[in-house]
Structure 1
């Protein structure tokens, strides 16, 4: 039997390696067990071994043994250079050196007269403090000891025998007491250059009798395998995880020269190594998407939520809070994590789930006699019809006769919102009818809270992901209305600026990674793209829309698919797997393992921020296909990577991603990740490697400007978007507007003199009170021939010459939909050739009159049939008569 890197898949290697290793030992097929030391038997609580040098420099400076001007960075580089110099000096002897040789190459005069041996001892003490016995290898060693299998340690190291013995002197590794040790420093040869022959000669056994475990692909696998040794690779960081670490280094708000936020006492708390260890234990995925989801849970959300759960349990324990409440749907996972954190630390805290939602608490806290309060409630809905919102409030259409003619109208603009708010509050009778419905909803909520035990204590502590603290605020208001005497406080992963409402109301609300919008980069990244985080932590059920009279939850329909459910389950399995790995070391340490409650937060914020800002192509392929429901009475379901933006990806620049609103794209960075060149451009821009001006056209900045005309023939200014040119030489604009009715839209596409190739224009509109949006598109020569051109000229096909900054083409929205438009999203994909602002550039001949007329006729026919052609002819006659006058 031969063990090699081929056994076990790359993504779940360590799990299978350990299983095979246990089997080999149990079967008696391992006469000699050989192990590497560092990153196999021992691992460090820092991302890279040299990271300890900066911490050593800080300790020496703190103790007065190092000048204050010698920074951690400078010391680290000096220590690395000294090792290189020491190896160069002894190259004739094989370049293997001791720690004493390395310190002989340091400028010892800088260290305030501290003897070399004392400095060496200080470095060994740092290594001792930051190295950890690998618990999986400790299990293997105990099994080998049980079957009396000889154990050998083979290590490339500059530590002496005494120093290495000191580092290995731990209760978990007591089985190494009789192990033979082969050190490169002692034998003058490394594993890759002769040490293995020394090992085999020293053991006096055949190569195939030795099973060696180590992390280095060359020194621990290729070289010994070439001699006949059976090798078991114990990989620490695979290629995919190396990419994750790289994006975290690039995306960090401020990071030291060794690429991580290191705590002087705890390094990176072992997060890098434990993430790698967890990833190495991945189960075999059923699909590549499931595997990607598991890895995301284990390497990104697992550490972040493990820290959050530990922070919640710590503060609840310290304040004497025996129970915290985790609102569903995230509550199922969060309560599990908090309970596991409390158990591993022996903290007296229990987390329980509680059914709550923004929709239920907003109804329960509604002031029916305050029109502004009712208006804010109505305005919060998204693409609900009047009848659907009435049903949410448990009102019948007959209860509000003033809205009888608008039951199918979508609440998508201020005018209909104002009319509905007025209709609900215009008479005492209607206010009372609404109050009855709201009071009943409030009583159902209160019964559910009482039955769960949430009102048994004077303080109800919520644990949630957070953002604005809306549920806490509304629940507190509801409890004040009924004078329950219960105060509501909250522990959140992060809160944005809206959470200041809680503080003004006297409600405690603490954020783990960020609070009240600070630090800005962390909170903004989470606030801008929360959907994947929310979906990854949700239970597989619909959101809470009401309670029964008995207090049981009434859930709405759930968006998603079987594949999405499998990927969510896999993500949560990865999250739990990391926490199990973390808690395993917590429990084994006897209370000495560092906590993630305070100084680790900056490192964890970097992990999450980097993942949100720079998702990988694999992550985009998985999360981009997930569906997301609106969760406030609406049945609207949107993909995290919207279908309508997929064709726009070749036109987008990194700057365009920042212009997209929440309703345009939940996670703009995911769009970039779906395209290799856009992703590279966005990453370079985010890391300051390129100037934002690279994506701006030459000359003065310009804007795409939208105006819309209402049925009273008045024009109104709409949104504007900066014109940019991306790596493909293409441009994109997307603009949204709401009104009580628009007939036409004017688009000044380049906002300057230019020849423009308009590849397509798409308008997603709500018109005539329709509940479902309609999609209108212009992408063919005949489509453009039928448009009106103001101060611009159609050149044929999809080419238009804009003569001035205000030159625009008009989209006849009402003609295409048959009714005025109340809300619209206009998307334009184009390429432009700027022209001189002076207007002296030679003009391009326009399309022939015959082409314009025939194209316009075809457009009229497609839109409205024969009647459309007749109407178009009538308009031409009217214009000619007007011209003669």
Structure 2
């Protein structure tokens, strides 16, 4: 077989099997080949350096300065770490500089580890009688690099390395001429060496020019490489100390490199869900142990289906010894609410906040009224009348009686699952508010005498419940703005973690769950199943690729990593992920069959065209960042930063690059006024002009022919001013019925102005509410301007 010119991680241990005859030396790059760092980029290590203002920038600037002056001081292009620190600390004593250097080497050793596939390649080389050498572009001298390798990989592995060649010792990089020095020192011909490294120019192209056999080690596929970079970006946004005093740790890098499956669902499951679920499961075990120590009795882990399905699978995969303690229970918000109405106060606590937002039939169903009763109670669609009816003694008795029966059926369900009177239980779910726990915990304590705690992937309580709750991500680690920004799109993760069955809406007397019909598409189920299987593959292979875990791979690093992974998925999704989510629906899970699309890119595109980027601030979407991914990174970075930090940005802040549009305003008695209105860019070349018309008083005349020869009209509509910047603006918009003069409609939305007199007139709507101020909205895209048309005529 021919030697490959490029290899992924899984192929490295067998690389020598295809090596050409006559190979006597296995040559390896050091960093990102044999020795990896538990960070996104090498410079992340510098964040740990105790330098005022942050170690990264100071250390980077010092190296840049040292490299700039090195050719003039010693005639060499490469520098040593001593030269770098001399540049950084020119007034310090030699002892202080050496202490700073040792601090950097300690930080490196804390994050470095040996990559297992390359360790296996070295072992194979030794079995074949080859010498192993390291050829590295580094500011560390040979003794210092050897010592770092020994600290990261162990003395046994370091002892298998026969020679080390460092660029700073020779004054040239690999691409700049280091390999001729290697050949001379070894006294070997180029054909006797096989070199492997991750940098294509330095590790493949440079040695290949000399006749050295070379293989480019491809650490990651393009999507994985971008995901890891974006996760570091997300880490810096959600935790501003990242890359200042905290490195962007990525303990999952080695396993990501080893992933074989390339389809979008498997990549998402392995590289994204896998690390998140591993961290979550590990934390759950720790929390269970702490609860047991506090109570002095075993704790049963109740994973709330459906969203708790994957977390439970992950927990069982990671801790098979605790499999009997992890119990799947089916408690939805609907069944928890049904069992929670223990007295009139409980009914009031539930109903009062819901009246302002929830549809009355949904509230009535949650209160356990029959279909006919719901119809009678909600006939008038008047929340005040509905609330009065609920206070009637007969209706109160119905709710309380039916709720007691629902609670008994819930108790039967828990008993059927193995929960006994007086047990200690931990409710485990994705979160984010712990609504099920809020509703059901008082009932479980009084009815079954259970000790109850709740543990969640993400916990962002919107009021202090006073219950025993915690999250892998909660206020102990992050502020409310950050937690709220993640909670907004958590439905994406819920659909990836869920079980392929309908939501529980009741229980039979023996506790068997009664479920709603499942409305999910086959494509959604297939993608979710592949993603879940891949996430479990990650978990059962935890530690793969690492010879010995670095000291920085601790619980805190994995929590911060998991938070960055989640934030990246929700705010900086990739094209392949968005394509997969296009088949996903989210069910409301309130005793109804209503489902919502996870994302609708076409609707989002329409929103951008018609409302501009500020549309994103008030858009009520499940995964807005996924919908806007096709429009480029600036949109999603803007959304991410605005939501995470709660930035006070307003529509006028985005209104730049205006075009003055000539307008006539005409009233019903023949009066008119000429003015200009600024039309501001929205997206994709479209503009939006907003014309105030009072309380439906004015007809708007748009003198489009003065500006355009051809123009595309996207939308003409009327809106109430007081709701224009709210989520109701689109729902209550009224389409205009424009009248054309001197304009020809060439297609559905394309118009030709027959001259400068081309005119569009929009009479006010007939159904406007008296006294409410309105505005007219025109969304258009210039196709050929009047100036362009005149220039073309002259040119012809």
Q: Which TM-score applies when normalising by structure 1?
A: 0.68
Aligned to 1:551: 511
Counterpart position of 1:63:
none
Q: Structure 1 residue 725: deviation in Å? A: 5.1
Distance, in Å, in 1 between the alignment partners of 2:403 and 2:25 is 75
1:143 to 121, 124, 131: 124
Match of 1:673 among 606, 619, 629: 629
Is the partner of 1:96 in helix, strand or coil?
coil
Which residue of the partner structure matches residue 14 of structure 1? 9
1:135–1:172 contact (8 Å) kept in structure 2: no
CA distance in 2, matches of 1:406, 1:623: 38
Matched with 1:470 is 435
Could you tell me how far apart the structure 2 residues matched to 1:148 and 1:749 are? 90
Matched with 1:310 is 282
Match of 1:221 in 2: 204
CA contact (8 A) 2:316 2:323 kept: no
2:519 & 2:536 partners in 1: Cα distance?
24
Query: Is the contact made by 2:303 and 2:311 (CA closer than 8 Å) also made in structure 1?
Result: yes
Residue of structure 2 aligned with 1:358, choices 330, 333, 353:
333
Which position in structure 2 is the counterpart of 1:513? Answer: 473
Q: Counterpart in 2 of 1:98?
A: 80
**Mapped pair 1:180 → 2:128:** no
CA contact (8 A) 1:54 1:76 kept: no
In structure 2, do the counterparts of structure 1 residues 748 and 151 end up closer, same or farther at CA, with 3 Å as the change threshold? Answer: farther
* Alignment counterpart, residue 502 of structure 2, candidates 531, 534, 542: 542
Q: Is the 8 A contact 1:339 1:350 kept in 2?
A: no
Q: Distance in 2 between matches of 1:762 and 1:384?
A: 29
Helix, strand or coil at the partner of 1:174: helix
Aligned to 1:283: 260
Q: CA deviation at 1:361?
A: 0.6
Partner of 1:816: none
Equivalent residue pairs, number = 707
C-alpha distance in 1 between matches for 2:32 and 2:624: 38
Structure 2: how far apart are the matches of 1:14 and 1:587? 14
Of 436, 456, 471, 1:492 maps to 456
Is contact 2:255–2:544 with CA below 8 Å preserved after alignment?
no
Matched, 1:612 2:595: no
Equivalences for residues 742-753 of structure 1 within 5 A: none
Residues of 1 paired with 2:141 and 2:281: CA distance? 42
Contact 1:585–1:593 at 8 Å: present in 2 too? no
1:162 maps onto 2:143 in alignment: yes
Q: Distance in 2 between the 1:540 and 1:606 partners?
A: 28
Tell me the distance in 1 between the aligned counterparts of 2:98 and 2:146.
17
**Cα drift, residue 180 of structure 1:** 2.6
Q: Mapping of 1:777-796 within 5 angstroms?
A: 778=735
CA distance in 1, matches of 2:25, 2:776: 69
**Separation in 2, partners of 1:777, 1:219:** 63
- For residues 659-738 of structure 1, the aligned pairs below 5 Å read 659-661=618-620, 665-676=621-632, 679=635, 682=638, 686=642, 693-696=652-655, 726-727=682-683, 728-731=685-688
Secondary structure at the aligned position of 1:43 is classed as strand
**Please, which moves more after superposition, 612-621 or 489-498?**
612-621
Match of 2:779 in 1: 831
Whole-angstrom CA distance in 2 between matches of 1:732 and 1:334: 50
Among 299, 310, 315, the residue aligned to 1:333: 310
**Residues 1:461 and 2:426 are matched in the alignment:** yes
- Are the equivalent residues in 2 in contact too, given 1:444–1:551 (CA < 8 A)? yes
Change (3 A) 1:441 1:115: closer
Unmatched 5+ stretches in structure 1: 8-12, 59-68, 700-722, 734-745, 764-773, 784-795, 803-807, 814-825, 834-885
Distance across 2 between alignment mates of 1:557 and 1:775: 33
1:226-305 alignment, distance < 5 Å: 226-236=209-219, 239-248=222-231, 252-253=236-237, 260=243, 262-263=245-246, 267-269=247-249, 271=250, 274-285=251-262, 290-291=263-264, 293-305=265-277
- What residue number does 2:786 align with? none
CA deviation string 1:617-663 (max 9, x = no partner): 443333244211111111111112246555334224222111123xx
Residue among 581, 584, 607 paired with 1:648? 607
Q: Is the 8 A contact 1:157 1:183 kept in 2?
A: yes
Give 1:36 shift: 1.1
- Is residue 584 of structure 2 the alignment partner of residue 626 of structure 1? yes
Greater RCO, 1 or 2 (C-alpha within 8 Å, sep 6+): 2
Counterpart in the other structure of 1:426: 392
**Post-superposition offset of 1:755:** 4.8
Alignment CA distance shift 1:810-1:339 (3 Å):
farther
After superposition, the C-alpha distances for 1:591-614 in whole angstroms (9 at most, x for unaligned) are 956422x46645543443344233
- Give the C-alpha shift of residue 168 in structure 1: 1.9
State the Cα distance separating 1:363 from its structure 2 match: 0.3
SS of structure 2 residue aligned to 1:632: coil
Distance 2:479 2:170 in 1: 52
Change (3 A) 1:76 1:618: same
Task: Name the residue aligned to 1:658.
Answer: 617
Inter-CA distance 255–95: structure 2 relative to 1 (3 Å threshold): farther
Q: Which residue of 1 aligns with 2:667?
A: none
* Alignment CA distance shift 1:683-1:5 (3 Å): farther
- Is the alpha carbon distance of 1:724 and 1:382 closer, same or farther for their aligned partners in structure 2, counting shifts above 3 Å? farther
Counterpart contact for 2:278–2:314, Cα < 8 Å: yes
CA 1:697–1:163 in 2, change beyond 3 Å: closer, same or farther?
Answer: closer
**Secondary structure in 2 aligned to 1:454?**
coil
Paired position in structure 1 for 2:525: 565
Deviation at 1:137, TM superposition (A): 1.9
For 1:56-71, list aligned pairs within 5 A: 56-58=49-51
Contact 2:655/2:681, CA 8 A, preserved across alignment: yes
Cα 1:121–1:524 shift into 2, 3 Å:
closer
Query: 1:723-872 to 2 correspondence within 5 Å?
Result: 726-727=682-683, 728-731=685-688, 755=702, 759=715, 778=735, 799-800=760-761, 809-811=765-767, 830-831=778-779
- The structure 1 residue matched to 2:484, chosen from 517, 524, 547, is 524
Q: 1:162 to 1:586 in 2, by over 3 A?
A: closer
Cα deviation for residue 216 of structure 1 reads: 0.8
- Structure 1 residues 395 and 50, CA, compared in 2 at 3 Å: closer, same or farther? closer
